[in-house]
Chain A
Amino acid sequence: MTWERMQELMWPATWETLGMVGIAGLATLVIGLPLGLLLVLTDKGGLLQNVAVNRVLGVIVNVGRSIPFIILIVAVIPFTKLFTGTSLGWQAATVPLAIGAIPFFARLVETALREVDGGLIEALKAMGAGTGAIVRKTLLPESLPSLVSAVTTTLIALIGYSTMAGVVGGGGLGDLAVRYGYQRFETAFMWVIVAELVIIVTVLQLLGDLTARRLSRRGDYRSPLSLFRPRKAAKAAPRAEKTEAVEEDLVSSP
C-alpha cells in the first residue's frame, strides 16, 4: 500500500476517532461530573448525606463499569437509535462510548473530590457557607488539578474504547487498523495507525499533565515547562514584584 493511499484512509478515520472521543468526552464531562459530586455529597458524613441515593448511584456506577464495552455497544442500540436516529456510523458510536465512560469518570471525580482536605470543608462551614458555596469555592477549585487528570485519563480510555466502535460501523482509527492491518494482512499500515494512536495519546497526556501542573498551587512547584506560564497582567503592586521575581528565576535556571 502506498503512503498516499494510507493517508487517504487515515485522515477521515482520524477525524472520526476525534469526533467520537470529543463528543462522547463532552457528554461524559457534563453528566459524569455531577454524578461524581453526588457520590461524594450523599455519602455518609457528606454534605447532603442520603444513604439510599448513594447506594442507588453506587450500584448504577458499578453495573455500568462491569459491562464489557463490546456488549454495551450492542445492548444500547435501541437507545442509540432514539438518540441519534441511526444505529450506524461514528455518530452512533458516541452514545455507547459516553455511557461506558460516564461511570468510569464519575469514580475518578469521586476520588479526586475525596482528596480535598476535610479541614477546608470545616473551615468553610465555620465561615457560614452553605453546601453550594462549599462545592463552588472549595471542592471543585481545590480538586481541579486532579479533575483535569481525570479528564485526561477518561479521554485516553475513550480512545481505547473507540477502537471497538467498528462493531456498529463506527469507523475510526481502531476499526481501520483491524480491517486493513489484521484482516488484509497490511501489517505495515497497521503499525502506522498504531503509531498515530500513540502520538495522539501522548499529546493528550502531555497537555493534561501540563494543565494539571499549572493549576496545582500546592507548594511552590515549578514545572520544567513553566516558561509557558501565562504572564498575567499584574493586578496589584505587590503581585507585580512577585511575577518579576519568578521570571528572573526562570532566566537564570538552566
Chain B
Amino acid sequence: MITTKDLTKVYRSRGRDVLALDSVDLHVQEGEVFGVVGTSGAGKSTLIRCVNLLERPTSGTVTVDGVELTALSGSEQRAGRELREARRRIGMVFQHFNLLSSRTVQQNVELPLEIIGLDRHDRRRKAAELLDLVGLADKAGSYPGQLSGGQKQRVGIARALAGDPKVLLSDEATSALDPETTRSILQLLRDLNQQLGLTVLLITHEMDVIKSVCDSAALMRGGKVVESGRLTDLLADGHSRIARDLFPLGDFGSGQADRTVLEITFQGDAPAQPFVSQLARTYQIDINILGAAVETIAGRLVGRMRVELPGSHTDNVVPIGYLRQQGLQVDVLDLSNGVAA
C-alpha cells in the first residue's frame, strides 16, 4: 500500500548537510498497522512527512496505493493539482491535533470536504457520520478549546477520515496524551483499521504503542531503518532489537562462569506446556527463573522467560536441545554484555 524506495532526505542548514533519511526502504501492506519507532531525531517524522510529500525527498520514490507521488509535480511549498488530489486520499493525524480554533468540531471535520468541493448538505451528513464513528456526536457544536486532548485527537481522526482515505498517517498521535487516553485512541485506530480496512502508518517513540496496535514495525536510528518486519516474525528472531525492547526483562544480576542464562520465547499455545518443570524433572537440574513476562502482541499471546541453569553452555547442550524440540525459541545469553550470543 505504501512503498518507499531508497528514500533520502538531506537538509541544508548553514552550509552543512544533515542526512535526515538515509535510503529508507519501507513496505506497508494493505490493511495493516505499521509502526515506525525510534528516538527523537531518528528521522521518523521526516519519513512520515515524505510519504505525503509535505517534505520532498532529495531522492528516492514514494508510492501510495499504486500512485508514485514523487513523480507528481510541485515544490515543497506548493503542490501540483495531481498531488493535491492524491493527498485527499491520504488521511493524517498530528501530535498537536492541528484543529482550527475558529471552527466548531463539526466545521473542522467538514473542512476537508469543503476542499474537495462537497455541497453543504452532504458535508453535514458525512461529518455527523464521522463524529458518530469516533464517539463525539454530542460535541459537534463545541469549539476545540472546550475539548480534552483525547477528544481533540478524536476530532483529528474524524477529520482525517473525511475524504474516505485508504491510508492514515499518524504523526505521534498519542504522544501528547496521558496513558489512559492513549489507550483509547489506539483502540480507536485499531477498530478503524479493522472496520474500514484502513492501512495505518504511525510513528512513535513509545514501544507500548507498537505493542498494543501494530502488526508490523520498523526501528529507525540515525535516518536509517535498522530493522523491520511483522512483529510475530521479529519476536521469533532472537537478535531483534524491537523484540528485545518490547520485552524489557531488566538486568539479571552478576554473571557467573559456571552458569548458563537462557532466554526462552514462546508464542501461541506453547505456554500451555509446563516446560520448566518438565525440564527439571527430565534432567534433574535446578532451574532458577530470573524474569518473565507475558504480553499480547499483535493479537497473539507472547511470552519470554529468562532462566538460569547450572553449568556452562557446553554442559547444557542437551537441555537446550530439549527445549528447542518443544517448539520454544531459546537464546543463550552471553553474561559479559547481556546480549544473545
Contact = CB atoms under 8 A, between A and B. Distances in A.
Contacts of A8: none
Contact of B102 (A46, A144, A220): A144
A137 to B, nearest CB: 6
25 contacts: A45-B77, A47-B77, A49-B77, A119-B98, A120-B100, A122-B94, A122-B98, A125-B87, A126-B87, A126-B92, A126-B169, A127-B87, A127-B159, A128-B79, A128-B85, A128-B87, A137-B111, A137-B114, A215-B102, A217-B144, A218-B145, A220-B145, A236-B106, A238-B137, A238-B138
Interface of B: 52, 54, 75, 77-79, 84-88, 90, 92, 94, 96, 98, 100-103, 106, 111-112, 114-116, 137-146, 159, 163, 169
Contact of B84 (A119, A130, A144, A215): A130
Given A217-B145, A218-B145, A129 B92 contact: no
Interface range on chain A: under 10, 10 to 19, 20 to 34, or 35 or more?
35 or more
A239 interface: yes
Contacts of A220: 143, 145-146
Interface of A: 45-49, 117, 119-120, 122-131, 133, 137-138, 141-142, 144, 215, 217-221, 235-236, 238-239, 242
Given A48-B78, A127-B111, 4 more contacts: A47-B78, A217-B145, A219-B145, A220-B143
Contacts of A127: 87-88, 111-112, 115, 159, 163
Contact of A122 (B54, B85, B116, B138): B54
B90 to A, nearest CB: 7
A215 B115 CA distance: 23
A54 to B, nearest CB: 13
B162 to A, nearest CB: 8
A86 B142 CA distance: 54
A122 to B, nearest CB: 6
Contacts of A239: 140-141
A48 B78 CA distance: 7
Given A48-B77, A126-B54, A220-B145, A117 B112 contact: no
A106 B40 CA distance: 38
Contact of A238 (B75, B85, B90, B141): B141
B100 A236 contact: no
A242 B146 CA distance: 11
Contacts of A120: 98, 100
B168 to A, nearest CB: 11
Nearest to B139: A238
A235 B115 CA distance: 22
A142 B85 contact: no
A221 B163 CA distance: 32
B102 A141 contact: yes
